[in-house]
Amino acid sequence: MGLDISGSTILAAGSGLTINSGFSINASGYAAPTNLPGYSGYRSGGSLYYSTGSGWIINGTSWNSIALNTSTGVFTCPVAGFYAVGFNGIAIGYGTEISYGYAGFGKNGALSYYIHWNLADGNAWQQSGGSSVFNCAVNDTLSFYINQSPSPAATAAITNNRGWYPDNHHAVWCILIG
Amino acid sequence: MAININGINISSTGTSLSVANGATTWLGVSSGGVVTRPQTPYMRAVLSGQGSFYRALTVTFGSVISNVGSCWNNSTGIWTCPVAGYYLVTMGGLASGSGQGVTGYGYFYIFKNGSIAHFSHWNNATSWDYCSLSAVLSCAANDTINFRIISGPADNSGSGGWYGGGDHGQFGIALVT
């Protein structure tokens, strides 16, 4: 038994419901979409501590809705909506003159929010991370930047290859939340 | 007006809509289009009364603040996903530095089904270092999620850890909308 509204369906599924086959509510009332755009990943391997080109290349993922290009690190929004993003990793400075750095997500190549670390000892490590929500149109892009324009460009850090430790030691993610 | 599908009521009060099983609301849509899911599986817990340098291959908590759906088992330190979906997992806390006379580095992890899903690292020569890690995991029903904090190398032989008192370590898991 179910309901068909001009092709959109609400159907019984066991003791729960499914709406258009992509949204299910089980018998305990747990409601979950089954195909959300997003990814959760990291930079696998490598020895580059800052991003280049179109952003930090997220080439390893625990899941990817295919919207993330793992060759470029660019996520292309398949639908308009609100996208939550998060990033956590370990940063390092270099000497006393380059003990700082920047990281953040950009939308369509323009930065909205970023974080800043500033180490008293440039050779020390420091955990860093952030999160935010972007209001995106279809085909908008989201990329993560470290010490690279459009984030504040830490030129000396790039010269000395400083920023975030790569090789899986971090997590970067994005998902449609509404 | 209400529609009953196999015992589940889809009803409207004014301009809002709800999907309910008896008195239990599964899904609501307000007159402004805001969607809520009161039964969303969710947990939030903190390190509490667990010493100055807490470390564990499977983290458990001194205080579980919320456990909607009872998916978190604090005896085993395991979350079991009740349905397939995307789960937001977060952890954050204060990690030891070598200036405190203990191991100043370690690793912290989010595990899925007993394998590393994501991890990060702290390494601090001076005092405390605030650490955090978050990720969204794509899970099937009955997949498991857990946390790990180790001090020193992979054998967890270090003497440091995360501050385990005063609710300084915050952890959460929730099914994403």
- Mutation test of the interface with chain A: which of B1, B4, B8, choosing the one with the most A Cβ atoms within 10 A? B8
B95 and B30 both lie in a single domain: no
A1–B5 C-beta distance less than 8 A: yes
Structure tokens at A90: 């370990």
Q: CB neighbours of A108 closer than 8 A, spacing ≥ 6?
A: A140, A141
B69 and B134 both lie in a single domain: yes
Structure tokens at A145: 């930047």
B70 and B10 both lie in a single domain: no
CB B113 within 8 A of CB B139: no
**Structural domains counted in chain B:** 2
Q: What is the mean pLDDT of residues B66-84?
A: 97
pLDDT given at position A151? 67
- Which H helix or E strand runs over A128? strand A125-136
B12 and B84 both lie in a single domain: no
Q: Give the CATH number for residue B126.
A: 2.60.120.40
A25 and A48 both lie in a single domain: no
B23 and B47 both lie in a single domain: no
B46 and B92 both lie in a single domain: yes
Q: Chain B residue with minimal CA distance to A36?
A: B86
Quick one: which of A10, A176, A169, A168 has its CA closest to A77? A176
- Mutation test of the interface with chain B: which of A40, A126, A172, choosing the one with the most B Cβ atoms within 10 A? A40
From chain A, the residues in CB contact with B82 under 8 A are 26, 28, 30
From chain B, the residues in CB contact with A34 under 8 A are 84-85
From chain B, the residues in CB contact with A131 under 8 A are 134
- The residue segments making up the domain with residue B21 are 2-36
76-115 of B, contacting A, C-beta below 8 A: 82-86, 88, 95, 105, 110, 112
Q: CB neighbours of B107 closer than 8 A, spacing ≥ 6?
A: B119, B120, B121, B122, B148, B149, B150, B154
CA distance A121 to B142: 46
Rg of chain B on CA atoms, in Å? 20
Does residue A119 carry a pLDDT above 90?
Answer: no
- pTM for the structure as a whole: 0.91
Give chain B's end-to-end CA distance (angstroms, integer): 27
**Structure-model confidence comparison of residues B108 and A159, the more confident one:** B108
- The residue segments making up the domain with residue A28 are 1-34
Segment B110-166, tens digit of pLDDT: 999 999 999 999 998 788 889 999 999 999 999 999 999 999 988 899 999 999 998
CA distance B155 to B143: 25
A169–B121 C-beta distance less than 8 A: yes
What is the amino acid identity at position A109?
G
CB A20 within 8 A of CB A8: yes
A46 and A90 both lie in a single domain: yes
A51 and A75 both lie in a single domain: yes
Segment A31-65, tens digit of pLDDT: 988 889 999 999 999 899 999 999 999 999 999 99
Structure tokens at B172: 């959460």
What's the distance, CA A162 to chain centroid?
A: 21
CA distance A136 to A74: 14
Judge whether A81 is closer than 8 Å to chain B, CB to CB. Answer: no
Q: Tell me the shortest Cα–Cα distance from B176 to chain A, in angstroms.
A: 7
CB B141 within 8 A of CB B84: yes
B125 and B52 both lie in a single domain: yes
ipTM attached to this prediction: 0.86
A131 and A60 both lie in a single domain: yes
CA distance A170 to B143: 22
Q: Give the CATH number for residue A150.
A: 2.60.120.40
Q: What is the mean pLDDT of residues A67-82?
A: 96
A22 and A81 both lie in a single domain: no
